C-alpha cells in the first residue's frame, strides 16, 4: 500500500469516529446521513486517486453538470465487463475507489470502471436518491436511476463493453442505490455487490422484472446501517438477501458455504461467515458474507476486492 493511500485510510477511520454520533430512526428524513457514511469525504484526493499504475486511461462521460470518469483497463480481450462504483453518503467516487481499490483490481481483469458522484444536498454532502431511508433527506427527488442508466448506455456507445456483464457495487448509501438499480434495471444488470447497505423497507416498493445475482457483505458491529435492520426503515442483511433469493426462485434458507474466512485483519481470527442459497434459477446466485465483529467501514485485506470482482464477472445477464 502506498503511503498516500495509507494516510487516506487512516483519515477515513479518524473521521468515522468523529462522525458516528446520531441515531438512525429509519424513516424519511432520518439522520442516518450524519453518521459514518460521511466519514469518506474527498480528503483532498485528486481525480486520479485509486487508479492503477498499469496504463489505465480515464475519460469523462455524463453531463456538463454531472461529469463522470470511466477508467479503461490497460488491455481488453473482446467485449469487456463494466463495473459501476457508487460511493457512500458524503463521500465521492474517487475516495470510494481509494478505500476499496476497485479500479486497481479491475485493471488486472480487463474491466472498465465508472466512478460517478451523487448530487450535493443542503448540508454540502453528496448522496444517491436510493430509498426513503437513505439518503435524499432534502426530498429533491433527483433521478439518479435515469442518470446512472444513461451513463451505462454512454459507456456502451463509446467503448467495447459486454452488455451481458454490467455490474453495480456500492457502500452504504451506494449499497442502497445498488439494490434500487438492481430492481429498476434488472434486465440490464447481471449482478450487484453491496457493502453495508440495504433495500427498500417494503418489498412491494420495487419489484424487479428479472432476477439479479447479489453478494451482500455486512458487519455485525455496524452502528450506522445495522446488520439487523430498522423496522419501518430498512431490512436487515439476511432479510434483504432472502428477498432477492426469492426473485431468483432459490430454496428458502441460508446455507453455509464452508469454513469462515479472514478478510478484516483488525478483527481476530476468521471473522467472515459465507452463506448462499441453493436451488436458484440457473445462472443466478445470492450470497451473504457476515463479518462478525466488523464495523461500517472495515479495512480489508489486499485480496478481498479482487475476489469480489471475480465473483461479479463470473455472472452474466
Per-residue pLDDT at 161 exceeds 80? yes
- Tell me what pLDDT residue 76 has: 83
pLDDT band per the 50, 70, 90 thresholds, residue 55? low
CA distance 47 to 52: 13
Per-residue pLDDT at 139 exceeds 90? yes
**Residues 233 and 30 sit within 8 Å (Cβ to Cβ):** yes
Per-residue pLDDT at 19 exceeds 50? no
Domain ranges of the chain: 3-313
Q: What digits encode the pLDDT tens for the residues 87-115?
A: 999 999 999 999 999 999 999 999 999 99
Per-residue 3-state assignment (H helix, E strand, C coil) for the chain: CCHHHHHHHHHHHHHHHHHCCCCCCCCCCCHHHHCHHHHCCCCCCCCCCCCCCCCCEEEEEECCCCEEEEEECCCCCCCEEEEEEECCCCCCHHHHHHHHCHHHHHHCCCCEEEECCCEECCCCCEECCCECCEECCCCCCCCHHHHHHHHHHHHHHHCCEEEEEEEEEEECHHHHHHHHHHHHCCCCCCEEEEECCCCCCCHHHCCCCCCCEEEEEEECCCCCCCCCEECCCEECHHHHHHHHHHHCCCCCCCEECCCCECCCCCCCCCCEEEEECCCCCCCCCEEEEEECCCCCCCCCCCCHHHHHHHHHHCCCC
Per-residue pLDDT at 9 exceeds 80? no
CA distance 121 to 32: 14
Per-residue pLDDT at 21 exceeds 90? no
136-163 average pLDDT score: 96
**What is the CATH topology of the domain spanning 3-313?**
Rossmann fold (3.40.50)
Pairing of strands 161-171, 80-86: parallel
Q: How many residues does this entry show for the chain?
A: 317
291-303 average pLDDT score: 97
Pairing of strands 286-291, 272-276: antiparallel
- Tell me what pLDDT residue 15 has: 33
105-135-141 Cα angle (round to 5) = 110
- Tell me what pLDDT residue 53 has: 41
Per-residue pLDDT at 7 exceeds 70? no
Q: Which of 8-22, 80-94, 249-263 has the lowest average pLDDT?
A: 8-22
Q: What digits encode the pLDDT tens for the residues 60-73?
A: 776 778 989 999 99
pLDDT band per the 50, 70, 90 thresholds, residue 58? low
Burial class of residue 58 (count of CB atoms within 10 Å of its CB; 0-12, 13-18, 19+):
middle
pTM given for the model:
0.86
- Tell me what pLDDT residue 3 has: 36
- Tell me what pLDDT residue 46 has: 35
Scan for cell 470518469, then name that residue.
69
CA distance 88 to 37: 5
**Residues 215 and 289 sit within 8 Å (Cβ to Cβ):** yes
- Tell me what pLDDT residue 49 has: 38
Query: Average pLDDT over the chain, rounded to whole?
Result: 86
pLDDT band per the 50, 70, 90 thresholds, residue 59? confident
Per-residue pLDDT at 184 exceeds 50? yes
Q: Of 267, 34, 274, nearest to 172 (Cα)?
A: 34
Per-residue pLDDT at 23 exceeds 70? no
Percent share of the chain, pLDDT over 90: 77
Amino acid at each position: 500500500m502506498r503511503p498516500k493511500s495509507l494516510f487516506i485510510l487512516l483519515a477515513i477511520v479518524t473521521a468515522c469516529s468523529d462522525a458516528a454520533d446520531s441515531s438512525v430512526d429509519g424513516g424519511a428524513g432520518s439522520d442516518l446521513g450524519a453518521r459514518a457514511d460521511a466519514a469518506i469525504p474527498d480528503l483532498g484526493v485528486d481525480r486520479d486517486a485509486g487508479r492503477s499504475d498499469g496504463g489505465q486511461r480515464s475519460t469523462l462521460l455524463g453531463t456538463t453538470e454531472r461529469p463522470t470518469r470511466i477508467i479503461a483497463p490497460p488491455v481488453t480481450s473482446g467485449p469487456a465487463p463494466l463495473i459501476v462504483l457508487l460511493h457512500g453518503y458524503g463521500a465521492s467516487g474517487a475516495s470510494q475507489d481509494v478505500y476499496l481499490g476497485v479500479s486497481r483490481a479491475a485493471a488486472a481483469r480487463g474491466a472498465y470502471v465508472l466512478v460517478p458522484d451523487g448530487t450535493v444536498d443542503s448540508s454540502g454532502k453528496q448522496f444517491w436518491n436510493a430509498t426513503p431511508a437513505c439518503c435524499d433527506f432534502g426530498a429533491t427527488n433527483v433521478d439518479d436511476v435515469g442518470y446512472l442508466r444513461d451513463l451505462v448506455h454512454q459507456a456502451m456507445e463509446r467503448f467495447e463493453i459486454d452488455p451481458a456483464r454490467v455490474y453495480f457495487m456500492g457502500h452504504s448509501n451506494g449499497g442502497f442505490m445498488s439494490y434500487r438499480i438492481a430492481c429498476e434495471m434488472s434486465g440490464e444488470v447481471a449482478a450487484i455487490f453491496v457493502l453495508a447497505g440495504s433495500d427498500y423497507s417494503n418489498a412491494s416498493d420495487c419489484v424487479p422484472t428479472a432476477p439479479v445475482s447479489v453478494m451482500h457483505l455486512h458487519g455485525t458491529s455496524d452502528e450506522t446501517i445495522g446488520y439487523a435492520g430498522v423496522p419501518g426503515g430498512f431490512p436487515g442483511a439476511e432479510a434483504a438477501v432472502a428477498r432477492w433469493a426469492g426473485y431468483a426462485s432459490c430454496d428458502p434458507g441460508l446455507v453455509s458455504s464452508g469454513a469462515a474466512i479472514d478478510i478484516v485483519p483488525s478483527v481476530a481470527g476468521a471473522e467472515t461467515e459465507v452463506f448462499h442459497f441453493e436451488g436458484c434459477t440457473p445462472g443466478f446466485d445470492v450470497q451473504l458474507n457476515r463479518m462478525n465483529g466488523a464495523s461500517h467501514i472495515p479495512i480489508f485485506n489486499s485480496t478481498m476486492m479482487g475476489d469480489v470482482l471475480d465473483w461479479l464477472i463470473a455472472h452474466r445477464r
